[in-house]
Amino acid sequence: MWEENVRRVIPYVAGEQPKDKNVIKLNTNECPYPPAPGVEQAAKEMDVDSLRLYPDTESTALTEALASYYGVDPDQVFVGVGSDDVLSMCFLTFFDGKEPVLFPDITYSFYDVWAKLYRIPFRTVPLKEDWTLDVEGFKAPNGGIIFPNPNAPTAVYEDLSVVEEILQANPDSIVIVDEAYIDFGGSSALPLLKKYSNLLVVQTFSKSRSMAGLRIGFCIGSKEMIKCLNDVKFSVNSYTMNMPSQALGVIAVEDDAYFRETTGKIIRTRERVKEELAAIGFSFTDSKTNFLFATHRSVPAKEIFTYLRERNIYVRFWDKPRIGNRLRITIGTDAQMDTLIETLKGMPGIC
């Protein structure tokens, strides 16, 4: 009879991590470049003996490095095991009201999973036909708001005036902006923290800082909000971030020149690839991310997905309403993208 007592969930499905190293992996929006050079050096010199001990529960060095980089107080920073952990803690902490939490219908598909897991009422606000946010839809009574900017998987970036309009319309709700992809051309909402105490900004080291494997995410908000988050975190697991992640994360934050170089390279590759894919019949939203949300004028997305996969090029495809004829293609190195384009040119019906 134990089954009656089980919490049942339909889990989030992460993009595939193939064992085969020869795959051109454009399916999970990782960075194709290695982490900052100092990270390798520090990893080699790591004091392995110290792994006997539990890590710093407050991730002090990493929190301070982030606070100094973003010009905020360390009490305004919370770090976690990837932004998934940070977001999950945010759902658990901030979304405990009676009114539904609002988020777009086409968005990061983990949001509804957490909402269901934690039994949080929620309602989706459909994106407009052009994939932009329906701001009016976020002016209804709610128990909190969350959206990514740029959105995923659409890649659409909303101007900060849109974020501000949502904040202004919801002074009594916490508004979480998930900025996983903000470093690829958008403007962060972080400066709005001075004006809006109900804003929380979440970011990650997984994309622009090339560290998906270390699992580092963080959020910045008011001291009061961060205190609430810490109270919940310390009620679940005190030692979330391991020692190597804390130490290597600091080095990544401190190397701003490398960060700018890699994000700049990805942006340049993205713009070139857009032109070349457009020339063979693809169209996309105006991406400000490290991926394209692409569709082809004559060949269905599902067929292209399968064709590429058979040739060891992995992209992401969802057989879901509204986005079933779209591919999400991560921007890789120039060489990887050249192989992608050449392979696509060889597919019947593409050119």
Chain contacts with ligand PMP (rule: CB under 6 A): 82-84, 108, 148, 152, 178, 180, 204, 206, 212, 217
For residue 294, the cross-strand partners are 284, 327
151 versus 269: smaller Cβ distance to ligand PMP: 151
177 versus 350: smaller Cβ distance to ligand PMP: 177
Q: Least distance (Å) from ligand PMP to the CB of residue 107? A: 7
Q: Which residue is nearest to ligand PMP (CB)?
A: 82
Q: Least distance (Å) from ligand PMP to the CB of residue 52? A: 28
212 versus 344: smaller Cβ distance to ligand PMP: 212
Q: Least distance (Å) from ligand PMP to the CB of residue 335? A: 24
296 versus 316: smaller Cβ distance to ligand PMP: 316
Contacts of 268 (CB under 8 A, 6+ apart): none
Q: Least distance (Å) from ligand PMP to the CB of residue 155? A: 10
67 versus 214: smaller Cβ distance to ligand PMP: 214
89 versus 120: smaller Cβ distance to ligand PMP: 89
Place of tokens 């560290």: 211
Q: Least distance (Å) from ligand PMP to the CB of residue 31? A: 11
Q: Least distance (Å) from ligand PMP to the CB of residue 44? A: 24
